[in-house]
Amino acid sequence: MNKSKDKNLEDFKYLIDSRNLTSKQKREERDALLKARELRFRNRTDNEIKTAKLMQLKYQMEDYLSNPTCSGPFFSDFLKSYIDTLYDKRKNFASDINVKPLVISHILNGHREPQDTFLFRLIYHSQHTFQELCEFSWELWPKVYYQDKVCLMKELSKQWVKTEGKKLKGKEIKIFE
């Protein structure tokens, strides 16, 4: 029975039981852990950084779709993050998906709506990029884009009802309240 008890304790020999430490020992252990984390963080490769940023972007997009907020155009923000994570220059991304850099600039700055062909190319590019990392739903980019449109329509409808809704005969419209 002692051998099995010793074996069980062997599994936990590297764990620290903070209940038995003084406050000075706790502080020293915490500082050592922070230094180890900082060292690991500084020694990450470019590929590890890129992978972490892409995974973070995917989770942010999924979170936005599960809890949509209408506080800004998120499609362009997500697209900027995606492009800037993968490329040093945005024109290289434009070249890879076979569109003009000016089109990318206009989409990112909200001066132009992305066409369906752009969305298809972005989906294909993302599928290829995430292929080694994780499952990336082809619906993610279009859903984010159209969620932005829904939010914009909601805001425009509120304004329209105040001005144009009064012109409708016998119709009182109460939407989005």
* 2 pLDDT above the threshold of 80: no
Report if pTM > 0.95.
Answer: no
> Cβ(16)–Cβ(29) under 8 Å?
yes
Give CA separation, 26 vs 16, 40, 51, 154, in Å. 10, 21, 33, 53
**Average pLDDT, stretch 24-46?**
81
pLDDT at residue 80, as a whole number: 92
> Cβ(55)–Cβ(133) under 8 Å?
yes
**Average pLDDT, stretch 54-67?**
86
* 105 pLDDT above the threshold of 90: yes
Average pLDDT, rounded, for the chain: 80
* 62 pLDDT above the threshold of 70: yes
pLDDT at residue 103, as a whole number: 92
pLDDT at residue 101, as a whole number: 92
Instruction: State how far the Cα of 4 lies from the Cα of 62, in Å rounded to an integer.
Output: 46
> Cβ(65)–Cβ(147) under 8 Å?
yes
* 1 pLDDT above the threshold of 60: no
